[in-house]
Amino acid sequence: MKRGIFALLVLSVGLCALGTGEGFAQSNPFRRMLGQEIQTVERSLWFERADGRGGFTFDRSASMPLIRADDDDEILAVHQVRASGGGEIWITDTGRMLLRQSNLGGWTYFPTDRPDGVIVEPVGQAQPLAAEPMDGEALERAASEMAHALAQISRQEVLAELTALDPEGNAYMADAMRMVRRGADLAPRRSVRDLEVVRLGVAEAPQVRYDGQVLDVSIAPALGYGGRPSSALVRRSFESHTPR
């Protein structure tokens, strides 16, 4: 039985977290007396689907908006663009439209089980989406588990090379490894069978490159979940080198 192995390339890397929080306006008693107090917009909300199939959290408190469906443990980072014909849309790192708000304020959600869209509406507050800090030993275990899981898929030894960060950065490095495992599991087996090395490092923006043997993954820990690629992007990278 093939097993995965890993190498910890760098023991520590200093990171400067980017400020992403938005300041709240101070309360003004005089304006409140006049009934003109400006209400703070909730930055993390839970949306309910009109078809009764649960909902999702939409967190705009982070540097990039995040969406997590109730029935899925993957957190998707999205970016906002203007929709043709008006309104706003939020799309993933693979260009998939996930959420839309019309000019009139209505919301439409586009999950995989309803690619044509389902009406949703915000119901209440939700907890912001952030990873729990992780120490170096836990990161090593996550790396070993990823390498072993990939070895089971590829049927050969897989080496994982990674950079250890601070506890906050380690958490997103580990989640990036989880996205690699998920992307490999979803990709055609023949596209992963020649995988030999997974390298995880730090860059200014998330990236994934696969040459048929080596998978290079870069994350930007200061961006949180928005600084690592989605499993769909990892899967697409594997599929781009699927042998015929």
Q: Which pLDDT does position 110 carry in this prediction?
A: 98
| 202 against 35, higher pLDDT | 202
Checking if the pLDDT of 24 tops 70, the result is no
232 neighbors 96 (Cβ within 8 angstroms)? yes
Q: What is the pLDDT of residues 201-241, one digit of tens each?
A: 999 999 999 999 999 999 999 999 999 999 999 999 999 97
Please list, in sequence order, all residues whose beta carbon lies within 8 angstroms of the beta carbon of residue 167, skipping any fewer than 6 positions away. Answer: 133, 134, 135
126-146: b (≥16 Cβ within 10 Å) or e: beebbbeebeeeebbebbebb
CB 186 within 8 A of CB 231: yes
Regarding beta strands 5-10 and 159-163, do their DSSP bridges make them parallel or antiparallel, or are they unpaired?
parallel
pLDDT value at 144 more than 80: yes
Residue 10's pLDDT is 35
CB atoms within 10 A of CB 27: 10
**How far apart are alpha carbons 178 and 61 in whole angstroms?**
23
| pLDDT at residue 124 in the model | 95
Q: What share of the chain in percent tops pLDDT 90?
A: 76
> Hey, how many other C-beta atoms are within 10 angstroms of the C-beta on 50?
13
Determine if the pTM surpasses 0.75: yes
List the one residue out of 210, 203, 137 whose CA is nearest residue 180. 210
Q: Where are the alpha helices (DSSP H) in the chain?
A: 29-33, 136-154, 167-186, 189-192, 231-239
Give 84's DSSP letter: T
Residues near 32 by beta carbon (within 8 Å), at least 6 away in sequence: none
Q: Residue 57 carries which side chain, given as an amino acid letter? A: T
> Closest by alpha carbon to 115, among 98, 138, 137?
98
pLDDT range class, residue 7, cuts 50, 70, 90: low
Quick check: 69 and 54 in contact, CB under 8 A?
yes
* pLDDT beyond 70 at 27: no
* Residue partners of 22: CB distance under 8 A and separation at least 6: 43, 61
Q: How far is 167 from 139, CA to CA, in rounded Å?
A: 9
3-state DSSP assignment of residue 185: helix
Q: What's residue 196's pLDDT?
A: 95
Q: Residue with structure tokens 């992780």?
A: 134
In this predicted model, what pLDDT tens digit does every residue of 145-174 receive, in sequence order? 999 999 999 889 999 999 889 999 999 999
* Position with higher pLDDT, 8 vs 112: 112
User: pLDDT value at position 30?
Assistant: 35
What mean pLDDT is predicted for residues 80-104?
A: 94
Structure token pair of residue 80: 């906002």
Task: Among 15-24, 85-94, 186-195, 200-209, name the one with the lowest average pLDDT.
Answer: 15-24
